[in-house]
């Protein structure tokens, strides 16, 4: 029954695109984020729905979209460079088969991120894209939040719609994405026009935010706690009473501690140092190996170049309890450990050129969103609420900061969901620039024609 319902919904979504071709774009967003073909087991699993929606989205834009206001920006150019460069490194990868497997989904994510801003030419399309992304991710987040409240969490034990460790269904990635959509959910609850901000919308947004905060607890992903901290600090920019905000945040954190699972608090305690944790120790060792590898291969080794690493490190082993704890060190040798950092992922796979372009791309997004915020703040004055576009820019900037914090400890440089957020950033900035240029353009004044028979000037 579930498979039939999923198939009927997908068929209806794709059918609507024949009347409004742009709807194929959010249809692809939904499919790529949720992966309904993995949830279903018969009809949806037997049809390449992702490829169909991908082709329809491009075909609808090429054949039916008016393309008024579509612009190709330098950030899209940076993504295009990464696309071409990744194709080149894949051809000469250290591990060709593994590189080809990763390339099979990376190229599609990059191409769609380049394409998405070209379709975002109106406010409704920009809001609709944000809404579909938030609600689709919310389906996974709410499910995980409910299971966490029911005691079904644990590191690697939070079962979602599918038993899959890829995409948003990977625990650390989901924790980062859940925290990242919080500012977007707040924006939709304040400025949304598809669903007007009333008590029902605000109640749903509050419940979604609670579920987002529960995901790092249910997954026991340490990265999620760091992302929550980064977002909490970033929110200080917009709150009116900062000391009250800090006091309430501290009180809520203190009240929540007794209700947290013991396994969660024990795992979070390992954030303070890496020496006593095998996972953290291997990450540091991999990062050192990657720096040495980049010194010998400055142009990168292609996707999954980490499979060539091998290193030995000393890990402390504690025995006993209380005051009778003895510590001994044992040597551990590891092979083919993943980067666990987007920075080192880019450096090892695409070398210094790829890493530099990726960092410039990220810095450009932060700068563009901050520029929209500051321009609006100068217009409305200090303390006044920001207009919808500047408020969305602030939310997208916060989402990117959360991504960057999470990316320091995860290999999610090409994660499709975050590339969609970056595409939304590009589309918003391009739309604002076009609107501002149209408003600033001088109106042509046509001089009135001389009345017939008027006497000529001497």
**Nearest residue to 211 via CA among 89, 242, 11, 203:** 203
Residue where a domain terminates, one of 17, 35, 65: 65
User: Measuring CA to CA, how many Å separate 228 from each of 107, 180, 181, 183, 194?
Assistant: 30, 9, 11, 11, 28
In-domain check, residue 41: yes
In-domain check, residue 85: no
Q: Residue 154 has what pLDDT? A: 55
Residues 143 and 262 placed together within one structural domain of the fold:
yes
In-domain check, residue 344: no
| Domain assignment of residue 61, given as a range | 1-65
Tokens of 327: 């510590």
For residues 388, 394, 399, 400, the Cα torsion angle rounded to the nearest 10 degrees is 130
Tokens of 232: 């909490």
**Nearest residue to 416 via CA among 220, 214, 137:** 137
Q: Residue 457 has what pLDDT? A: 39
> Rounded distance, CA 41 to CA 96, Å?
31
Q: Residue 390 has what pLDDT? A: 94
User: Measuring CA to CA, how many Å separate 313 from each of 72, 116, 329, 410?
Assistant: 48, 45, 10, 21
For residues 286, 292, 296, 300, the Cα torsion angle rounded to the nearest 10 degrees is 40
371 phi, psi to nearest 5 deg: -65, -40
User: Which residue numbers in the chain have pLDDT < 70?
Assistant: 1, 151-157, 242-243, 245, 249, 252-280, 315-327, 329, 442-458
pLDDT digits (tens, 9 = 90+) for 398-451: 999 999 999 999 999 999 999 999 999 999 999 999 988 888 776 545 445 555
Q: Residue 429 has what pLDDT? A: 96
Residues 34 and 145 placed together within one structural domain of the fold:
no
The beta-strand segments (E) located in 174-320 are 310-319
pLDDT digits (tens, 9 = 90+) for 65-77: 988 888 999 999 9
> Rounded distance, CA 429 to CA 439, Å?
15
In-domain check, residue 392: no
User: Measuring CA to CA, how many Å separate 156 from each of 160, 202, 297, 394?
Assistant: 11, 32, 35, 33
In-domain check, residue 59: yes
Residue where a domain terminates, one of 254, 272, 290: 272
Residue where a domain terminates, one of 31, 50, 65: 65
150 phi, psi to nearest 5 deg: -85, 5
Q: Residue 283 has what pLDDT? A: 82
Structural domain total, the chain: 2
> Rounded distance, CA 75 to CA 113, Å?
10
Residues 39 and 145 placed together within one structural domain of the fold:
no
Tokens of 107: 């190229």
409 phi, psi to nearest 5 deg: -125, 15
Q: Residue 361 has what pLDDT? A: 97
In-domain check, residue 381: no
Residues 156 and 237 placed together within one structural domain of the fold:
yes
Residues 17 and 144 placed together within one structural domain of the fold:
no
Task: Compute the Cα dihedral for 420, 423, 424, 425 and give only its sign.
Answer: positive
pLDDT digits (tens, 9 = 90+) for 187-203: 999 999 999 999 999 99
Angle at 197 between CA 192 and CA 203, to 5 degrees: 120
């Amino acid at each position: 029954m579930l498979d039939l319902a999923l198939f009927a919904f997908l068929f209806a979504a794709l059918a609507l695109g024949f009347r409004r071709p742009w709807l194929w774009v959010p249809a692809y967003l939904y499919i790529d984020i949720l992966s309904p073909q993995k949830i279903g087991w018969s009809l949806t699993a037997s049809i390449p729905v992702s490829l169909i929606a991908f082709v329809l989205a491009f075909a609808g834009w090429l054949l039916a979209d008016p393309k008024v206001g579509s612009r190709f920006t330098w950030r899209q150019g940076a993504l295009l460079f990464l696309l071409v460069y990744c194709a080149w490194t894949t051809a000469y990868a250290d591990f060709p088969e593994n590189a080809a497997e990763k390339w099979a989904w990376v190229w599609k994510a990059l191409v769609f991120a380049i394409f998405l801003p070209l379709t975002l030419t109106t406010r409704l399309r920009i809001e609709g894209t944000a809404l579909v992304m938030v609600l689709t991710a919310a389906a996974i987040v709410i499910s995980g939040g409910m299971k966490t409240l029911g005691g079904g969490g644990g590191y690697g034990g939070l079962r979602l719609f599918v038993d899959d460790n890829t995409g948003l269904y990977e625990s650390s990635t989901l924790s980062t994405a859940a925290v990242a959509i919080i500012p977007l959910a707040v924006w939709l609850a304040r400025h949304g026009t598809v669903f007007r901000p009333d008590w029902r919308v605000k109640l749903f947004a509050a419940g979604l935010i609670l579920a987002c905060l529960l995901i790092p607890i249910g997954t026991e992903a340490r990265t999620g706690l760091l992302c929550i901290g980064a977002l909490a600090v970033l929110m200080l920019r917009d709150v009116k009473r900062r000391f009250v905000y800090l006091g309430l945040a501290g009180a809520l954190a203190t009240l929540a501690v007794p209700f947290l699972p013991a396994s969660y608090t024990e795992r979070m305690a390992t954030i303070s140092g890496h020496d006593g944790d095998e996972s953290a120790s291997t990450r540091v060792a991999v990062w050192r190996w990657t720096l040495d590898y980049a010194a010998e291969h400055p142009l990168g080794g292609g996707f999954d170049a980490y499979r060539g690493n091998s290193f030995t490190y000393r890990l402390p082993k504690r025995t006993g309890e209380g005051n009778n704890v003895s510590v001994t060190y044992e040597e551990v040798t590891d092979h083919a450990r993943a980067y666990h950092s987007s920075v080192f992922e880019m450096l090892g796979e695409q070398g210094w050129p790829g890493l530099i372009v990726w960092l410039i791309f990220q810095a450009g997004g932060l700068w563009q969103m901050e520029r929209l915020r500051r321009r609006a703040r100068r217009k409305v004055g200090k303390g006044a609420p920001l207009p919808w576009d500047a408020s969305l820019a602030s939310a997208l900037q916060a989402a990117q900061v959360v991504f960057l914090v999470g990316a320091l400890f995860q290999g999610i440089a090409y994660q499709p969901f975050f590339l969609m957020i970056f595409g939304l950033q590009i589309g918003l900035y391009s739309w604002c620039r076009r609107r501002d240029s149209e408003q600033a353009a001088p109106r042509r004044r046509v001089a009135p024609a001389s009345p017939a028979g008027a006497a000529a000037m001497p």
